[in-house]
Protein backbone atom coordinates (compact mmCIF):
# COMPACT_ATOMS: atom_id res chain seq x y z
CA UNK A 1 0.00 0.00 0.00
CA UNK A 2 2.95 2.35 0.52
CA UNK A 3 3.85 2.20 -3.18
CA UNK A 4 0.21 2.79 -4.12
CA UNK A 5 -0.05 5.87 -1.89
CA UNK A 6 3.26 7.23 -3.16
CA UNK A 7 2.04 6.79 -6.73
CA UNK A 8 -1.07 8.83 -6.01
CA UNK A 9 0.84 11.60 -4.21
CA UNK A 10 3.47 11.81 -6.95
CA UNK A 11 0.74 11.94 -9.60
CA UNK A 12 -0.94 14.79 -7.72
CA UNK A 13 2.42 16.59 -7.80
CA UNK A 14 2.61 15.91 -11.56
CA UNK A 15 5.74 13.82 -11.16
CA UNK A 16 4.32 11.24 -13.52
CA UNK A 17 7.41 9.14 -14.30
CA UNK A 18 8.07 8.61 -10.60
CA UNK A 19 4.38 8.01 -9.95
CA UNK A 20 4.26 5.33 -12.63
CA UNK A 21 7.30 3.58 -11.16
CA UNK A 22 5.60 3.51 -7.74
CA UNK A 23 2.34 2.24 -9.23
CA UNK A 24 4.22 -0.54 -10.99
CA UNK A 25 5.91 -1.43 -7.71
CA UNK A 26 2.46 -1.62 -6.09
CA UNK A 27 1.24 -3.96 -8.84
CA UNK A 28 4.27 -6.20 -8.32
CA UNK A 29 3.81 -6.23 -4.55
CA UNK A 30 0.15 -7.24 -4.86
CA UNK A 31 1.04 -10.04 -7.28
CA UNK A 32 2.91 -11.68 -4.42
CA UNK A 33 -0.30 -11.56 -2.36
CA UNK A 34 -1.87 -14.49 -4.17
CA UNK A 35 -5.63 -14.61 -4.61
CA UNK A 36 -6.23 -11.99 -1.91
CA UNK A 37 -3.98 -9.57 -3.77
CA UNK A 38 -6.08 -9.54 -6.94
CA UNK A 39 -8.45 -6.72 -5.99
CA UNK A 40 -5.76 -4.33 -4.74
CA UNK A 41 -3.64 -5.35 -7.73
CA UNK A 42 -6.48 -4.35 -10.07
CA UNK A 43 -6.71 -0.97 -8.33
CA UNK A 44 -2.94 -0.46 -8.63
CA UNK A 45 -3.18 -1.28 -12.35
CA UNK A 46 -6.00 1.26 -12.70
CA UNK A 47 -3.85 3.97 -11.11
CA UNK A 48 -0.85 3.01 -13.26
CA UNK A 49 -3.01 3.22 -16.39
CA UNK A 50 -4.42 6.61 -15.36
CA UNK A 51 -0.91 7.94 -14.82
CA UNK A 52 0.29 6.43 -18.06
CA UNK A 53 -2.67 7.72 -20.08
CA UNK A 54 -3.67 11.01 -18.52
CA UNK A 55 -0.30 12.05 -17.12
CA UNK A 56 2.10 10.81 -19.78
CA UNK A 57 -0.23 10.53 -22.81
CA UNK A 58 0.95 6.97 -23.42
CA UNK A 59 -2.45 5.65 -24.33
CA UNK A 60 -1.25 2.58 -26.25
CA UNK A 61 0.82 1.45 -23.28
CA UNK A 62 -2.08 2.04 -20.93
CA UNK A 63 -4.43 0.06 -23.19
CA UNK A 64 -1.98 -2.85 -23.28
CA UNK A 65 -1.68 -2.77 -19.49
CA UNK A 66 -5.45 -2.67 -19.08
CA UNK A 67 -6.07 -5.45 -21.61
CA UNK A 68 -3.88 -7.80 -19.60
CA UNK A 69 -5.49 -6.73 -16.33
CA UNK A 70 -9.03 -7.18 -17.68
CA UNK A 71 -8.24 -10.74 -18.72
CA UNK A 72 -6.69 -11.45 -15.35
CA UNK A 73 -9.68 -10.03 -13.45
CA UNK A 74 -12.08 -12.04 -15.62
CA UNK A 75 -10.13 -15.22 -14.88
CA UNK A 76 -10.16 -14.41 -11.15
CA UNK A 77 -13.93 -13.91 -11.16
CA UNK A 78 -13.87 -10.20 -10.35
CA UNK A 79 -16.72 -8.71 -12.42
CA UNK A 80 -16.64 -5.23 -10.85
CA UNK A 81 -12.89 -4.83 -11.35
CA UNK A 82 -13.25 -6.23 -14.86
CA UNK A 83 -15.94 -3.66 -15.68
CA UNK A 84 -13.97 -0.71 -14.26
CA UNK A 85 -10.74 -1.59 -16.04
CA UNK A 86 -12.52 -2.42 -19.29
CA UNK A 87 -14.36 0.92 -19.27
CA UNK A 88 -11.07 2.78 -18.85
CA UNK A 89 -9.52 0.69 -21.62
CA UNK A 90 -12.39 1.51 -23.97
CA UNK A 91 -12.04 5.22 -23.16
CA UNK A 92 -8.32 5.15 -23.96
CA UNK A 93 -8.88 3.12 -27.11
CA UNK A 94 -11.11 5.92 -28.46
CA UNK A 95 -8.47 8.62 -27.87
Residue 1 pLDDT grade (very low, low, confident, very high; cuts 50, 70, 90): confident
Q: What is the pLDDT of residues 21-68, one digit of tens each?
A: 999 999 999 988 777 889 999 999 999 999 999 999 999 999 999 999
Global pTM? 0.93
Torsion of CA 66, 72, 77, 80, to 10 degrees: -10
Kindly tell me the sign of the dihedral angle through the C-alpha atoms of 52, 57, 60, 66.
positive
Amino acid sequence: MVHYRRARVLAEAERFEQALAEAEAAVAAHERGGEQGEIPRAEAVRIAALIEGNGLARFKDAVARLTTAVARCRAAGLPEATHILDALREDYTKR
